[in-house]
Each structure stands twice: as structure tokens, then as C-alpha cells.
Amino acid sequence: MILPILGSFSLSCQEKLVILLAETNLISPNDMNNNYDPRAIAQTIDVDELYDLDITIAKFILPRLIAYKQHCERTPRMTMTREEWDEILDKMIYAFERIACQTEEDTPEYKAYIKAIWNNEEDLTDLKRAAKASLKPISEGLSLYHKYYRNLWW
């Protein structure tokens, strides 16, 4: 349910948040009229979602990024081609997929580094560098998400 009042600029941020929470059924419409404090929403969130909040958030974002790529026909800049924008979206999707599936550390380089730590090997410099490099696509995808976050609209 979309309330027309949501677009009103006369509402405070807190009032808009209360309306959004009511629309997503996280609070009841009755709470909207009782000076509802949005911070109380924390009491209704499953604590298990907070253990690995990054994974919970990635699982929420990933399918939406995929759908956005499939349905959105615009690019963030007039100078950017659709192919360039698709490549950026693919990098974002890859990063969130690796996080959501908990495979961000599932690379041969990272596994070799962890194994060397467990074996108490002394010179880990090269292994650490390779492990860090194997995580670079995830960092790049998250950086692109940060950079283009405000451009993810139709």
C-alpha cells in the first residue's frame, strides 16, 4: 500500500519512516497514530538476522540488483553506454552474490593463506597478498555499489 502522503515534503523524516514501516507491515496502522518511535522496530527484527547482518543485507540486495539490471533501460550518465552500465551492474551483482552465498573467502589463494596460518608458516607475505587480491572483485563491486547507489532508479 502506497500512501500519497509519503511524497509530502512537510513530513519529518521520522514520520516518513513510520509510514514506510506501516507499508511493509512491520508496524500496524494503529501505531502510526500513537507517536510511534521507529527505533522500537528493532524489537521486531529476528535476532538471527543480526549475526551476519552483511549476509542478510546482501541476500536482500542481490535479487533486486538482478531484477534492476533486467528491467532498467537507463544509464546513470548520458556518456555511459548500456554495455558499460551492465558491466558495472555485473560487478555489483558478483560482489553481493559472493557475500550472500558466503563464498567471498572461497578462493584457492585465500584457502592457501588460511592453511599457512594454521600450519604456523613464517613467511605469509606473498600468500597474504594473493589472498587479498582474490577478494578485490568483491571490494570493487561494493565500491561501485557505493558510487552508484543514488543512480539505482528508473
* Whole-model pTM over 0.85: no
Dihedral over alpha carbons 38, 42, 46, 49 (to 10 degrees): 100
Least Cα distance to 72 among 54, 92, 97, 96 occurs for 92
46-72 pLDDT, tens digit each: 777 788 888 889 999 999 999 999 998
73-125 pLDDT, tens digit each: 889 988 899 999 999 999 999 999 988 887 767 778 888 888 888 888 888 88
Q: What H or E segment, with its residue span, contains residue 133?
A: helix 125-134
- In the block, cell 543512480 appears at 151
DSSP string, 40-79: GGGGGS-THHHHTHHHHHHHHHHHHHHHHHHH----SSTT
